[in-house]
Amino acid sequence: LRVSIGSTSRAATLARGVRPGATVTMPKQYVRLAGTRATGRSFDDRVGSAAQLLALRRLDRAKLKHQVIFVWSVREEIGLEGAAVAAAALGPTVKRVHAIDTFVSADSPLELQSFAVAPLGQGAVARALDNSSVTPPAYVDSLVALARARGVKLQVGTTNGG
């Protein structure tokens, strides 16, 4: 079992009192880790909700060329089922559905760099592929172009989760 506590070196990990063979208990409440990192129960859902709320606040309806719909759904861990139901209910006039969730990071020196490479601190991730879906390449390309035009750091990620 490998556990990240947010440190970026062996020395920093040892300085926090963590040794090989140490026991691990995942607290269910919010806990700050090293630097600006943290963990907590349902962190992926909470961070995704915060991202949507921040985006909603920044939207200027007068400048929108298309209708934008925000949906909070469930069952994303088993294939974005809630998002699929919402998309089907909205009908064929909806052009794109973007799931907002967290992405696994394999930037530990012990991880294989062949899948889920999205280093922490290097920007948001546009998920291109996971176990349950493949994002059309044109959508990924448009997100990358938009991020580049706005000066937003963006990574394109693939993973076997989803």
User: DSSP labels for 11-51?
Assistant: HHHHHTT--TT------SS-EE-STT-EE-TTHHHHHHHHH
10 and 59 fall within a common domain = no
72 and 86 fall within a common domain = yes
CB 107 within 8 A of CB 119: yes
Domain count, the chain: 3
107 and 162 fall within a common domain = yes
138 and 126 fall within a common domain = yes
Tell me the C-alpha distance between 119 and 107, whole Å: 5
31 and 58 fall within a common domain = no
Full residue range of the structural domain in which residue 17 is found: 1-38
Which amino acid is located at 69 in the chain? I
Tell me the C-alpha distance between 131 and 54, whole Å: 28
119 and 161 fall within a common domain = yes
Helical residues (DSSP H) of 34-153, grouped into ranges:
43-58, 81-90, 137-150
47 and 21 fall within a common domain = no
Residue 7 in 3-state DSSP?
Answer: coil
81 and 112 fall within a common domain = no
9 and 48 fall within a common domain = no
Q: Where does a domain end: 97, 112, 135?
A: 97
Residue 127 CB coordination number (10 Å): 22
| CB half-sphere exposure, 63, CA atoms < 13 A | 3
Q: Where does a domain end: 97, 116, 132?
A: 97
Residue-level pLDDT, tens digit, the chain, 162 residues? 677 788 888 898 899 888 888 887 766 788 888 888 888 888 878 888 898 999 999 999 999 988 888 888 877 777 678 888 888 888 888 877 777 877 777 666 666 766 667 888 888 888 888 777 788 899 999 999 999 999 999 999 887 755
Residue 92 CB coordination number (10 Å): 7
